[in-house]
Structure formats: structure tokens, C-alpha cells
Amino acid sequence: MNHDDRDREAHSGAESGEEGTARGSGGRLDVRPGVASPGSTAPGAQRRVRRELGIDEHVEGILSGDRVILGKTITLIESRRTEHNRTALQVIEKLLPHTGRSVRIGITGVPGVGKSSFIEALGSMLTARGHRIAVLAIDPSSQRSGGSIMGDKTRMEKLSVDPAAFIRPSPSAGSLGGVARKTREAMLVCEAAGFDVIFVETVGVGQSETMVRSMVDFFLLLMLAGAGDSLQGIKRGIMELADAVAINKADGENLQAAKAARSEYEMALHLMKYPAPDWNPPVLTCSAVTREGIDEVWNTVQRYRDLMTDNGWMERQRREQALDWMRDSIAQSLQDRFRAHPRVAELLPSLERGVADGTLPPLLAAQRLLEMFFDDEISTL
Ligand code: GDP
């Protein structure tokens, strides 16, 4: 386990049984290799942090609903070390027969629209009805800036202490494609641990929506009324991905505006192409604060699920998603391996400079690097 991973594990509370419930970026817990943590009271705590579980321990722990082990398995999935990822894959392979039975819901919307408040409201309603919910996140901002739109505030206060809920922040390392792959794997592990509703949350700013759409059964777009420009920077393409739109903050003075916006969005959606049969994406209004309309959103998800199960769309969608997943993994692995190749890594910066300043044709640069990579790959076969 490298420093980053150890930090992450310590930070996310794996040893205290809190892993996965803490969201946001508090102070880093500085656990250095070989240095006893001054605050550590439990003897052997350092050793426990480092001990790696065997595959069967992961599998059994997850199947028995042990959240500490669930958190540790997701930490393995998110690790940058290949051997951790390999172990995680073996764990997932064993868990596969226990996956696939949850309702997978993607949620998107611009920052401030109320995504976390909405998940808190709907999630609490569901746990009160006996469901077990997991919340995973994909935050594209953390890839670009190292900071995060989602993570730096206290979110989902009630759910984060609800024993029937598991909240995991977005993995911060790697490309968006890499993060998506990790989130898919985390989703399977959560399903095997008995969570029957999985929310995958993302910020409505672009590419991450397509990825989330490709891993969930139902994709919900949250919007606001009366925020000036009718589509609020949400690209048309994102509206086209939605199975339903919910106008949040339909409360107090905002209620009338929300109702007006509803017809506006209904018209906009009506003009768009929607792929699934027997379904026109509805526009709903809700309030994460008063909780008005939240159960209607859930009823909509269930209605969609029943219909799409009956007409075969659900199965078809999951099959296509599985194929997408495989293809994405291949592309991702090839890219990782290409970038990790020593000669490629050495030459890439200078070739990129040549391409950028116009002295080297892009195709030629690509060809040189690929030849170097494939020649070496083939010679090691
Ligand atoms: P996110 O960035 O999309 O996750 O948005 P948050 O859930 O953090 O909400 C942003 C702000 O809007 C917070 O101050 C919330 O209290 C507020 N908010 C969220 N949902 C509602 C709602 O339904 N009604 C009202 N009035 N405020 C809300």
C-alpha cells in the first residue's frame, strides 16, 4: 500500500468503522510509514491499517454486510497500484453472482441545484421504508483541479449516520474514464453487500453524464426554475439522456415559477429523441426541503422499472452497458499501459512539444510512439 492509499484509508475511517460515511475533505490524517501515530490508542493500530485482507476475507466480509470491509474493498478498487486492482477484480469476480439486483439511479444537475439535499431526502425516505442505499459520486472537477465541487462541504448529514446508508465520495485519482471504471466496480461491490438502491451522483458539467448514464438504469436530471436562461447551462445533450427531469426547490416563493418551468421543460423534452419504448420522460417538481414531491420521483422510478422490465428494455440496456464496460476497460487499460511504458513516458513530453509548436505532424508523433510501444510489447510476448 503506498502513502496515498494509506492516507486515504486512514482518512476515510476504515479502521474506525466509518469508512464510506465521511464525505468531504477534512484535514488529512498524517500516517507515515513506520511512525506510530501519536493519537493512536489501540496497540497494533498501525499494523492493522497495513494488513491486507485475503480475497476470501473481502468476499465473506462484503456478503455479510461488513461496512469496514466494504470500505476497504473500495479502497483497493480505487488504489493506483495494479496489484490492488487485480485483487479487487478477483474479489468482484467472486461477488458477481450476488450483484445486479439493485435499482441503479444516476443523478445530475449543476452545482447548487440540490443534488445532495435531494439524495438526503429521497435516501432517508427509502431507508425508513427498509431499503439500504449506497451513494457513489463521480466528480469531474477533482480530476482537473485537484479540488472538488462536491466534496468540500458537509453533505447528507442524516444519511451519513444512517446505518442503512453508505456514502462514498468520488475517487480523486486518475482520468475520468478511470474514475468511471472504479465507480462501476464499487457499485457491484455495494450490491453484493446488500444495498438495493444505488445512487451515482455527478455534476452537470459535461462528459461525466454520459458515463453515469452508461452505468445506471434510470437517469434523473435535477433543474431549477427561474434561474434566468431556461436551460441553465445544462447542455441539450444532457437533457436527452434523462429518463425524468425534476425541478427542485419547488417550495415557498419558488413554487409558481417551478410549475411554470415544468411546462417549459415538458415542451423542450417533447422535441427530443428518447430511445426507450413506452416512455416519455416526465417533468416533476419537488422540494428537498419540504420533501413535497420526493415520493412522486420514487414512484416514477418504480413505474419506469416495471414497464422497462416487462418490455425487455431493462435487460437490453444492462447487456449493452456490460459490453460498453468491457470496451471501456480495454481502452482504459491500453491507455494506462501505453502511458506507463518507460520509453513512451520518456519521449512523450518532447514529441508533444514538437506537435504543439508545429514542428512535428501529430500523426507522425502518434505513429512513432505507437510503434515503439507495440514493438516492445510484441518482443515481450
Ligand atoms: P448540490 O451542489 O447540487 O449538491 O446542492 P446542495 O444540496 O448542496 O444544495 C445547495 C443549496 O440549496 C443548499 O443551501 C440547500 O440547502 C439548498 N436547497 C437544496 N434543495 C432545496 C430545496 O428543495 N428547496 C430550497 N428552498 N433549498 C434547497
State the pLDDT at residue 82: 81
Full residue range of the structural domain in which residue 68 is found: 3-28+51-94
Q: Which three three-digit cell numbers place residue 181?
A: 471504471
Whether 69 and 142 map to the same domain: the answer is: no
Whether 90 and 104 map to the same domain: the answer is: no
Residue 236 CB contacts under 8 Å (≥ 6 apart), including other chains: 272
Lowest mean pLDDT among 70-79, 163-172, 173-182, 364-373: 173-182
**Region class of 353: left (phi > 0), else alpha (psi between -120 and 50), else beta:** alpha
- Tell me: the pLDDT tens digits for 191-243? 999 999 999 998 766 678 888 999 999 999 999 886 545 555 566 778 888 99
End residue of a domain, out of 290, 318, 346: 318
Q: Please name the helix (run of DSSP H) or strand (run of DSSP E) that holds residue 1, with its range, or none.
A: none
Whether 360 and 297 map to the same domain: the answer is: no
Residue 319 burial by Cβ neighbours in a 10 Å radius (0-12, 13-18, 19+)? exposed
Mutate to test the pocket of ligand 1, among 107, 117, 199 (most ligand atoms within 8 A of CB): 117
SS (H, E, C) 201-255: EEECCCHHHHHHHCCCCEEEEEEECCCCCCCCCCCHHHHHHCCEEEEECCCHHHH
Distance CA(160)–CA(166), nearest Å, equals 7
Residues with CB under 6 A from ligand 1: 109, 111-117, 248-249, 251, 287-289
Whether 340 and 368 map to the same domain: the answer is: yes
Instruction: Output the residue whose Cα is nearest ligand 1's atom 6.
Output: 114
Number of domains in the chain: 3
- Tell me: the pLDDT tens digits for 32-72? 333 333 333 444 444 455 578 889 999 999 999 999 999 99
Instruction: Output the residue whose Cα is nearest ligand 1's atom 28.
Output: 249
**Is residue 365 situated within a structural domain?**
yes
Q: To which residue does cell 458539467 refer?
A: 205
Give the residue, 23 or 350, on which the prediction is more confident: 350
State the pLDDT at residue 50: 59
Q: Please name the helix (run of DSSP H) or strand (run of DSSP E) that holds residue 107, with its range, or none.
A: strand 103-109
Cα 115 to ligand 1 centre (Å):
7
Whether 313 and 343 map to the same domain: the answer is: no
State the pLDDT at residue 379: 66
Give which of 87, 71, 278, 323 is closest to 189, Cα–Cα.
71
Instruction: Output the residue whose Cα is nearest ligand 1's atom 19.
Output: 114
Q: Which three three-digit cell numbers place residue 80?
A: 493506483
The atom number, within ligand 1, closest to the CA of 113 reads 3
Whether 218 and 112 map to the same domain: the answer is: yes
Pairing of strands 103-109, 133-138: unpaired
Whether residue 19 is predicted with pLDDT greater than 80 in this model: the reply is no
Q: Do 262 and 256 touch, CB atoms closer than 8 A?
A: no
**Is residue 162 situated within a structural domain?**
yes
State the pLDDT at residue 8: 41
Whether 257 and 300 map to the same domain: the answer is: yes
* Helices first, then strands: H and E counts in the chain: 15, 7
Cα 244 to ligand 1 centre (Å):
19
pTM over cut 0.75: yes
Give the residue, 362 or 145, on which the prediction is more confident: 362
End residue of a domain, out of 318, 352, 371: 318
Whether 161 and 66 map to the same domain: the answer is: no
**Is residue 36 situated within a structural domain?**
no
State the pLDDT at residue 129: 97
Give the residue, 334 or 381, on which the prediction is more confident: 334
